[in-house]
Amino acid sequence: MAKDKIGIIGLGLIGGSLGMALRGRYVVKGMVHRSEDAEYALSAGIADEIASGTDDFGDCTALIVCTPLSIVRETVENLAAAYPDKIISDVGSVKGILRGIKGRVIGGHPMAGTEKSGIRAAKERLLENAYYILTDYNGDKTALEYMTELVREAGALPVLMDAEAHDKLVCKISHLVHMAAYSLVDSATTGDEEIVGSGFMDTTRIASSSPEFWNTVAKMNRDNIVTDMDAYISTLKALRDDIAGGRDITPFLARAKAKRDKIAHAKKYPNGYILYVDVPDCVGSIARVLTKLTAEGISIENLSVVHSREGTGGALRLEMKDEKDCKKAKEILS
């Protein structure tokens, strides 16, 4: 039986990773703006075909818009009008922007990513076990079922959510966090520090994300971000006043710790299977750790050396693909 063809408009980090995940299960036709990106998409296994333009998707069953957020609505609207029989989706992190568009529109938001961007940052397993929000605007049950199955085929976990609930949720767990990270870097550093703790670098890693993208997010989800920032500022102000007054902040810290621990143990978020390993500062120590793990079939997604051990208790940071590998690695190294 012939495979369905899926069009992906924009092969950046998310679009490229989605193409990699879907190829083999579907025929992937991608669209890029630069010829060198088209060549890379074909050679890197991101797409099977390259579209000549938005009028070249007539042979596709579904189209997924992975353009910059600032032009997602315009692109979805144009495609829905040009291809009324096809399923149109997107990967934008704000879902309210697609309200009111007529057609077989199913909003999408894969809860995955890195601080990197562009087609060369795409990874085949970026979406693996990541929650992938789907939003049905017009009550098209068939289109929703199709996108739900496509998300599963990509290795992600489909979650149905309406636009308003989605935008409020991601504001608290993502949009606010990014604004806080940027603010912390700007207020706490000059950018010339030679010694910085790993706690600071871990907390502010996402401040290396695209300023242009987050400026767009701030505009498109403005009301929710302002509301949550006001609440955060109020909490920070109360903590500041307690510290200034010499009061015991242990109850506040313990309450926050309990919430964080509960979230971590629940594993209601993608990725994040990280293990810190205390290794001696000598030649071959890291190689010995890696040899032990790979010999037992442990898949290591990423690794880095933590130069400051503040708050980590280890110098080698290992990221595993799932909870099972993380637990097994811990047992082996213990």
- What distances in angstroms separate CA 291 from CA 142, 271, 318, one per listed residue? 49, 23, 13
3-state secondary structure (DSSP) of residue 243:
helix
Beta strands 273-277 and 316-320, pairing class: antiparallel
Q: What's the whole-number average pLDDT of the chain? A: 89
Q: How far apart are CA 222 and CA 32, in angstroms?
A: 30
Average pLDDT, stretch 53-68?
95
- Range 221-244 average pLDDT: 97
Pairing outcome for strands 87-90 and 62-65: parallel
Tell me the CA distances in angstroms from 268 to 87, 101, 111, 271, one per residue in order.
29, 31, 11, 10
Q: Where are the alpha helices (DSSP H) in the chain?
A: 13-22, 35-43, 72-82, 141-153, 163-170, 176-188, 198-203, 211-220, 222-244, 250-266, 285-295, 323-333
pLDDT digits (tens, 9 = 90+) for 67-119: 999 999 999 999 999 999 999 999 999 999 999 999 999 999 998 877 678 89
Q: What angle do CA 60, 117, 123 make, to 5 degrees?
A: 65
* Closest C-alpha among 243, 164, 176, 171 to residue 206: 176
Per-residue confidence at 310, pLDDT binned at 50, 70, 90?
very low
Average pLDDT over residues 14-35: 94
Closest CA to 182 of 143, 250, 229: 229
Among candidates 64, 75, 73, which has minimal Cα distance to 22? 64
Q: Would you state the pLDDT for residue 271? A: 52
* Cα 294 from Cα 300, distance rounded (Å): 8
Amino acid identity of residue 321, one-letter, is K
What is d(CA 205, CA 201) in angstroms, rounded to the nearest whole number?
6
Q: What is the per-residue pLDDT across 277-302, written as a single tens digit (0 to 9) for each?
A: 877 767 788 888 888 888 888 888 77
Check pLDDT > 50 for residue 308: no
305, pLDDT greater than 50: yes
Give the mean model confidence (pLDDT) for residues 111-136.
87
CA distance 186 to 172: 21
> Model pTM?
0.78
148 forms bridges with which residues in the sheet? none
DSSP state at residue 299: P
